[in-house]
Every structure is written in C-alpha cells, then in structure tokens.
Amino acid sequence: MLFRKKAQKIFCIGRNKTGTTSLEKVLKEFGYKMGSQTEGEKLITYYKDYNWKPIIKFCKTAEAFQDAPFSWPYTWQILYEYFPKAKFILTVRDEESWYNSQVRFHSKQFSDGISPPNKNCLKNAEYNYRGYLWDVFEAVWKTPKSDLYNKSDFIESYRCHNKSVIHFFKNKPNFLILDVSDKNSYKKLSNFLEKKPIHLEFPHLNKSI
C-alpha cells in the first residue's frame, strides 16, 4: 500500500493554458515549494499505462504542483484518494480562447508558426525526449491521427474534464474554481490558502499565447 502523506498539498488540476503559469508564480510568492514541471511531464511514461505509483511518489517532492501530469484526465481522482486533505484548484478559461491558445503555442513551438504540428512534427520535437509530445497526444488527447488538433474533440475534452472535476468536488471545502482573468481571483485564492495578499490582482504571464 502506498503511504498517504498527511502534510497538506496544493494541486492545480486545470488544463494547461488556463493561467497555470500565473498561478505558479503566485504560489511561489506565497512561499510554497513547487514541483518540477519538467519532471512532472516525464511521468507520461507511467501515466499512459495508468501506473500511478511513480506519480504519487513525485508528489512527495514538493508542496504545490501544476501542469502535467496534474492537468491530465483521471490524475485528480488518484490525487484525492491519496491526499484527501489537499487543496485542489481548478483553473478555467473561456473554451474558445483556450483552444486558440493551445494551437498558437504548439504552432510556434513545434511547427512553422502558422499551421498546427502534424504527427511527424510531434514525434520529432526535441521536448523532454524525442517523441514525448506524441506520447501525450496518444495518452491524453486521443484525437484522430489525421486531425490532431480537431477543435470539437479538444474542446469536448476540456469541457468534460472541468465538468467531472466540478461535479466530484461540489460542496467540498478544499476545492476552488479559479479564473485568473477575474479581477477578484487573486483575493479568492489568498482567502482559500489563508495567505496574506501580496498583490491586488493576479500577475498575468504568457499573455501573448
């Protein structure tokens, strides 16, 4: 049986490109030790086989975590099983702008800056390890190979993730829905974490994407 750590954890379980970078900055300012995003992303090797033990082990390396694998489907359910007293934050964003941000970012990083990456682009991208991005698409997004950035599929995945999380955590006091574009979001987060505010509003990062 895996050890259940008693110390409080903070998990951002919103999908990538929903203000997670801004949230990470604020959590660091509040003094939380953040988990390594690079090491978290590499856990796709275990995630795709639903091997949760290495992911739970990784959760013992820091106090707060965001992005992969915490933004991927099902992970939040396992986290709650082993860390039921942790604080869970679902970052959200308008789904249309979220999708466009995903495509713009991937196009700039892994394609020609205009067109979304194709299968070969993802398989050959030097990010974490060659083939990492393709592993993520197969395990997380599961979109048609002929239309990897299918808008309907992407948005439906985003929508289902948020609905499932919100339904599960409904009325639980250790859960917060956060839209960092809301001018009151910083105050909500400060109250939720019981931290003295440092800013009046969220410091927004990655505005261009």
Question: What pLDDT sits at residue 207?
Answer: 54
Question: What pLDDT sits at residue 205?
Answer: 61
Would you say residue 103 lies in a domain? yes
Q: Percentage of residues in the chain with pLDDT exceeding 90?
A: 89
Buried-state track 121-136, b at ≥16 Cβ within 10 A, e below 16: bbeebeebeeebbbbb
pLDDT tens digits, one per residue of 46-64 = 999 999 999 999 999 999 9
Domain residues for 75?
10-95+175-193
What band does 2 get if pLDDT is binned at 50, 70 and 90?
Answer: very low
Question: What pLDDT sits at residue 193?
Answer: 96
Same domain as 188, residue 85? yes
Buried-state track 69-107, b at ≥16 Cβ within 10 A, e below 16: bbbbbebbebbbebbeebbbbbbbbebeebbebbbbebb
- The pair phi, psi for residue 65, each rounded to 5°, is -145, 150
Arithmetic mean of pLDDT, 161-186: 96
pLDDT tens digits, one per residue of 152-166 = 999 999 999 999 999
Same domain as 102, residue 90? no
Would you say residue 164 lies in a domain? no
Same domain as 115, residue 88? no
pLDDT tens digits, one per residue of 90-148 = 999 999 999 999 999 999 999 999 999 999 999 999 899 999 999 999 999 999 989 99
